[in-house]
Amino acid sequence: MIDLVIRGGRVLDPARDLDRVAHVLVDGGRVVDVLTSGDPPGARATIDATGLWVTPGLIDMHVHLREPGGEHKETIASGAAAAVAGGFTTVAAMANTSPVNDDPEITRWMIARAEEAGLARVLPIAAVTKGLAGETLTDFAALRAAGAVAFSDDGMPIMQARIMRSALEAGRRVGAAVIAHAEDRTLACGGVMHAGIVASRLGLPGIPAAAESDMVTRDCAFAAETGGHLHVAHISTASAVAAVRDARAAGARVSAEATPHHLTLDAEAVVCHGALAKMNPPLRTAADIAAVRTGLADGTLEVIASDHAPHHADEKALGMEGAPFGIVGLETTLALVHAGVLTVSTAIRALTVGPATTLGIAAGRLAAGSVADLTLIDPDLRWTVDPATFRSRSRNTPFAGMAMRGKALAVCLAGRVVDGDLDGRFTR
Ligand SMILES: [Zn+2]
């Protein structure tokens, strides 16, 4: 008898190009086999996965969980619950908390808080500079030893070229990526949306595409020079995608991620959704959306990440000029990217082995021996986004009321079935 058999699902393991109906066998918290023929052995528990997708546990490498310091927006526990509800078994949490995660004590505290919650795994990303001030590098070795999986001042661009170059060198020494929030503040200054015809029509200050692509070009050059790993967060412009493609072709260690909103919405969304469509980088043009989609399809971009950014309704009510940037995303990402926007294999790859490789973590795969973190997805389930039902403490999304197709029904964490919406499929 083994612990668990997940019977007859469509097993998708992009790390080894596996896409076929199979049984997944789990014992002792690990995948012991993926049987593509024959009958599975007896098990203490069974999930009938007929008609479902069985994937490696989804990974979101860019979330803001707001704890410590912003618990009215989100906590590590509520963020981990939102993650599991959205099908994610692992999330990486950005450092722009209060206090900032620039100290090993805070890194260790976050890990302990996540373990108490016992839901999705929460991997801290430490700050690149003290207090996100862009002046003094943090102690990369100590933070890495404390459990930081990458380094980022996300939310704040690193304006000083010398600091960014040193960060990539320090990242190389500890074997971790430096994640860039690429934005030239001297060009973006005061902008609240994409600089283009919609901003002109609305009379709002704009953020030009070059504010992103100039910084991506700069940082790609540093990655090439230093051998450090640059990961570009939330890429939004065709020119930045092209810069990443060129850098990779030239052999630099550069990776990048796209968000569901930059794959699906353009600047027109600001007209109907106002501040709920205010994010940084901003929603761009149809041509930019097409370039980001192409970048994912051709492998230039290896990762989809939500940039889950909870904010209180009162803050988002301040309008385009006063509201903070960002939207929640953990509970809508999967449905947004799977239906028609990308192929199934591209979407699942960018939510599993893509981020796992970028972070250098042992996850995102479904081979014998891997930790049994899995996601069970009903690809055809129709549902409507109702922010009132979110597990997240925040509701700031432009997708409220949108008809969706596809939903995670449950996840397994080291073989333990969590957040099951499996009805009669789960027997033990
Ligand atoms: Zn950012």
Is the pLDDT at 303 greater than 90, yes or no? yes
pLDDT per residue over 63-108, tens digit each?
A: 999 999 999 999 999 999 999 999 999 999 999 999 999 999 999 9
Task: From 407, 38, 16, 87, select the one nearest 25 (Cα to Cα).
Answer: 38
Both tokens of residue 422? 């499996």
Ligand 1 centroid–CA 6 distance in Å is: 38
CA-to-CA dists, residue 327 to 18, 93, 105, 260, 336, angstroms: 33, 15, 29, 11, 14
Q: Which amino acid is at 375?
A: T
**Looking up tokens 């995102």, which residue turns up?**
364
Ligand 1 centroid–CA 182 distance in Å is: 8
Q: Where are the alpha helices (DSSP H) in 175-285?
A: 185-188, 197-202, 210-226, 238-249, 260-264, 269-273
Ligand 1 centroid–CA 280 distance in Å is: 6
Q: In this structure, what are the phi and psi dihedrals at residue 45, rounded to the nearest 5 degrees?
A: -145, 150
pLDDT per residue over 7-28, tens digit each?
A: 999 999 999 999 999 999 999 9
pLDDT at position 428, please? 87
Is 307 annotated in the active site? yes
Ligand 1 centroid–CA 153 distance in Å is: 8
Residues 25 and 35 sit within 8 Å (Cβ to Cβ): yes
Q: Where are the alpha helices (DSSP H) in 251-285?
A: 260-264, 269-273
Q: What is the mean pLDDT of residues 143-155?
A: 98
Helix or strand holding residue 142 (H, E): helix 140-146
pLDDT per residue over 177-234, tens digit each?
A: 999 999 999 999 899 999 999 999 999 999 999 999 999 999 999 999 999 999 999 9
Ligand 1 centroid–CA 96 distance in Å is: 10
Q: Which residue has the higher pLDDT, 189 or 289?
A: 289
Give CA angle at 357 (351, 362), nearest 5°.
95
Return the SS3 of 134.
coil
% of the chain with per-residue pLDDT over 90 = 97
pLDDT at position 158, please? 98
Residues 409 and 376 sit within 8 Å (Cβ to Cβ): yes
Ligand 1 centroid–CA 155 distance in Å is: 4
**Looking up tokens 């690809």, which residue turns up?**
379
pLDDT at position 339, please? 66
Q: Residue 423: pLDDT band by 50, 70, 90 thresholds? A: confident
Neighbours of 219 (CB within 10 A): 29
**Looking up tokens 């550069």, which residue turns up?**
254
% of the chain with per-residue pLDDT over 70 = 100
Q: Which amino acid is at 351?
A: L
Is the pLDDT at 237 greater than 80, yes or no? yes
Query: Which is catalytic among the residues 307, 373, 378, 419?
Result: 307
Task: From 204, 213, 279, select the one nearest 242 (Cα to Cα).
Answer: 213
pLDDT per residue over 313-353, tens digit each?
A: 999 999 999 999 999 999 999 999 976 789 999 999 999 99
pLDDT at position 419, please? 75
Using CA atoms of 34, 39, 43, 46 in order, give the dihedral in degrees to the nearest 10.
Answer: 80
Task: From 175, 134, 192, select the one nearest 321 (Cα to Cα).
Answer: 192
Q: Which amino acid is at 188?
A: A
